[in-house]
Structure 1
Amino acid sequence: MLLFKWRHYLGLNRITAEKIFIITYITYAAYYLARLSLSVALLEIGEDLGCSKFELGVIGGAFSTLYALGQFINGQLADSFGPKRIISFGLAMSAIISSFFGYSKTFVVLVLLWGINGYFQSTGWPSAVKIIRNWFGEKRIGLVGGIFGSCFLVGNMISWIVLGYVVSIYGWRFAFIIPMPLLVSLAALFHVVISDAPQEQRENGTNHLQKIAGSLKKIMFSRKILAVAGAYVLLQFVRSGFTLWAPSYVIENYGLSPDLAGYAVAVIPIGGIIGSVVTGWLSEHLNSKGIVGRTKSMVLLIFCLILVLAAMHFMIDYGIYICLILLFLGGLTLYGPHITMATIVPMDFEKEYGTAGVAGVIDGLGYLGLTLADPFIGWIVDTYSWNGAICFWLFSSILSTLLLCKIVC
């Protein structure tokens, strides 16, 4: 009875693809309130608890490790049991674990809790991509997937601004505690109003574990998927710089306060939103659609990213305004191909392997790479300064382009 009342009040008695898109978009964007708090609070945690950048990178690496493993598991679970259940449970648990992090004081506990949070955060992406693919089918996958892929960029932008303000006014611990009631409520609302597909078809009497194992094996032996996943891993190294380390970068190089740094780095997801739509449009209008057409658009934008990173290396002393322009262009050229790999490519493989399973493997391998990259980047900054880190991201982008070229050639 309560279910029908909620649907009536929210205008959801008649579920449409557009409503599903908007609700899923907002819900996944909200995941970042329990995710980017570490990025915004990084320096304050280091000063308060005496952690080095390497140790802070270890905390981020713990998140990446469990997030990666969770992607492999939750992508298959979403294909087998339905994505709505996975998202509802995962978002609520992520919010609760994140709030526990805000009360913690020892390094080991911080690593443990942030790793667990990484697992529950991994419930979101493959499940959300599965829902969108179910409701929109094969038509306009490039454009719809590109627009939907911007949801985590909107989440990035809003979270950086809101959490940066919270850290500046109330201290770093409240950035982890305050979002919890909102996210738990949103998870409950999502469970009430969302349907997995226009006509949900659940399997009965199926050996889900056997199906999951077989599907995962097929995905892992697909050369095209592995090529995209390898390029995605390399691009994730660059993304780490634009998410985990960006606030620290502008604070240390340009003397910004945490709240101003949150506003400053918001130019990255703004550029990314534009880049995601541009890449989706390009992949639909190049000579060949499907994986080849999408790869052409990705190679084009990653080449532009290489030029942006080279400019960042040589223009680090040119002031905050040049930095903001380059961060904006970096977001535009990074997140276009990033979203294509994580969102649109899995939709292309729905019939062969299942959207959520492919999304989970690609994103999972990417975050598995970040397990080593996060502390490694922290070590590079400690040892060779920020220019050393930029050189690492530049090299990763070049290798990513070369790997994608194998699909086109």
Structure 2
Amino acid sequence: MSVELGISYQQIGWISFSMLMGYAIGQLINGNLADRLSPKIMILTDGSLSIICNLFISYANTYGVILVLWTLNSYFQSMAWGSGSKLISNWWDSNECGKAFGFYTMAAGSSSVLTFFMALLLLQQEQSWRTLFRYPILFLVFALILFLIIARSHPALKGFILQSDNVLDQNTQKLGWKESYKEVFRNKNFITASCAIGFQSMARYGLIFWVPIHFLGKNYKESTGNLWLTLFIPIGMAVGAISFGYISDLIFNKNRSKSIRTGMLCSCVIALLIYFIPTPHHVLAAVLMFASGFFVYGPQANFWTLSPDLLGRKLVGTGIGVMNMFAYVFAAIGEPIFGKIIDYTGNTSNIFLVVAAICASCAIIISFVKPQTSINKHE
């Protein structure tokens, strides 16, 4: 894209910035909608509009058009995460919530594996970057059809008998738009956790977006080993997501803060190790790539469970929407910074020093979130 359209790495960073900001704004709006509308309808709408945007991007020829379409695509995709989280919270109680969100986050990470794999295949076949916006939407079409047939927004729609809502849920059931947001923003623990996920997301996208540029560079066609090395990052992320769902519940006894802090400190150490490991050591680099993805993304599964834990089920959509807004605003700010650092220093390995500092910041901030048992135990 950079070569064909004649744009700099910093401009690529601004495209990524627009994508992340579109997602962040959408999360703030659509998370609240997920508490009021059908999660199933919102997800189906999201998928359909995203397909259209990706198809149009594949035919775009100017920087400005791609910037706008990418922003719109991200806004439409933001309709899905809060809605899916609401659906999960409707179907699983606090005892199984950690594992359920682990699988949910794993699914998101697995999509990166598929995207990376397809990108690598297309690069080897010397295909245009445009094809990467066309093939994945075929999988999305198939997934939407399955979701339409199988998914239900609430267990009651399948005739299951539900446990009574807890006291907090009953108090927040009839909250309006403003009251819902006030309830979320006045919760200091939750807002502190939202700031922490901001740094976690910044580190995550630093790896996803810029590490391939570090290992591939302009000579990717001459280095097949480096080409496939980047695939270990999303694989590690997918495995880490489901693992941390169990790690939080079984090892840390549902202490989400401690689980997240441990993961981010490990990410900090691994990023520093990668910085000092020469790229020709492919086996060791592959292990470190997998580990970096595992520890930087895995803790995100623990962040989402903080919404029902701290806010109650009736505010799950609003809470996760606000939290995800923080995540993507921080990530959006980070993208042009990463690009500027590369343009200024001419050394892509500096990415890992920045990621290490970001992970350490996340670990420090999440330490201020007080451990709490799920409020659902007050039923």
What's the TM-score, normalizing by structure 2? 0.86
Query: Is 1:337 matched with 2:293?
Result: no
**Which residue does 1:220 correspond to in 2?**
185
Contact 2:210 2:351 in 1 (8 A): no
Letter of the 1:165 partner, please give it: L
**Which residue does 2:18 correspond to in 1?**
62
Moved more, 383-392 or 394-403: 383-392
Pick the aligned partner of 1:391 from 353, 365, 368.
353
Matches within 5 A, 1:198-209: 198-200=155-157
Deviation of 1:105 (Å): 0.5
Separation (CA, whole Å) in 2 of partners of 1:125 and 1:200: 21
Deviation of 1:317 (Å): 4.4
Deviation of 1:287 (Å): 6.0
**Which residue does 2:234 correspond to in 1?**
269
Contact 1:278 1:336 in 2 (8 A): yes
Matches within 5 A, 1:109-120: 109-120=65-76
**Which residue does 2:161 correspond to in 1?**
none
Query: Is 1:358 matched with 2:319?
Result: yes
Show CA shifts across 1:265-322 (max 9, x none): 2212222233223322222234653xxx111111111111111011012124453333
Pick the aligned partner of 2:140 from 183, 198, 223.
183
Show CA shifts across 1:149-202 (max 9, x none): 21111111112112332354331112112333442453244234321011149x
Matches within 5 A, 1:74-85: 74-85=30-41
**Which residue does 1:171 correspond to in 2?**
128
Separation (CA, whole Å) in 2 of partners of 1:258 and 1:53: 21
Gaps of 5+ in 2: 159-172, 372-379
Separation (CA, whole Å) in 2 of partners of 1:268 and 1:338: 15
Identity of aligned residues (%): 23
Query: Is 1:162 matched with 2:124?
Result: no
Letter of the 2:259 partner, please give it: S
**Which residue does 2:100 correspond to in 1?**
144
Show CA shifts across 1:15-35 (max 9, x none): xxxxxxxxxxxxxxxxxxxxx
Contact 2:215 2:227 in 1 (8 A): no
Query: Is 1:101 matched with 2:57?
Result: yes
Deviation of 1:253 (Å): 8.7
Separation (CA, whole Å) in 2 of partners of 1:109 and 1:298: 38
Show CA shifts across 1:206-261 (max 9, x none): xx997222212211221111111111111111111221123212102984579876
Letter of the 2:148 partner, please give it: H
Letter of the 1:179 partner, please give it: P
Separation (CA, whole Å) in 2 of partners of 1:129 and 1:308: 30
Counterpart secondary structure, 2:260:
helix
**Which residue does 1:11 correspond to in 2?**
none
Gaps of 5+ in 1: 1-44, 202-207
Separation (CA, whole Å) in 1 of partners of 2:318 and 2:305: 13
Letter of the 2:244 partner, please give it: T
**Which residue does 1:400 correspond to in 2?**
362
Contact 1:215 1:353 in 2 (8 A): no
Contact 1:103 1:173 in 2 (8 A): yes
Moved more, 323-332 or 259-268: 259-268
Letter of the 2:132 partner, please give it: A
What's the TM-score, normalizing by structure 1? 0.80
Deviation of 1:147 (Å): 2.5
Separation (CA, whole Å) in 1 of partners of 2:107 and 2:53: 23
Separation (CA, whole Å) in 2 of partners of 1:356 and 1:258: 45
Separation (CA, whole Å) in 1 of partners of 2:62 and 2:219: 30
Deviation of 1:347 (Å): 3.4
**Which residue does 2:168 correspond to in 1?**
none
Query: Is 1:377 matched with 2:360?
Result: no
Letter of the 2:93 partner, please give it: G
**Which residue does 2:288 correspond to in 1?**
326
Separation (CA, whole Å) in 2 of partners of 1:262 and 1:98: 24
Letter of the 2:29 partner, please give it: I
**Which residue does 1:7 correspond to in 2?**
none
Letter of the 1:62 partner, please give it: S
Letter of the 1:265 partner, please give it: T
Separation (CA, whole Å) in 2 of partners of 1:219 and 1:256: 49
Separation (CA, whole Å) in 2 of partners of 1:55 and 1:398: 28
Counterpart secondary structure, 2:294:
helix
Letter of the 2:143 partner, please give it: L
Separation (CA, whole Å) in 2 of partners of 1:256 and 1:294: 43
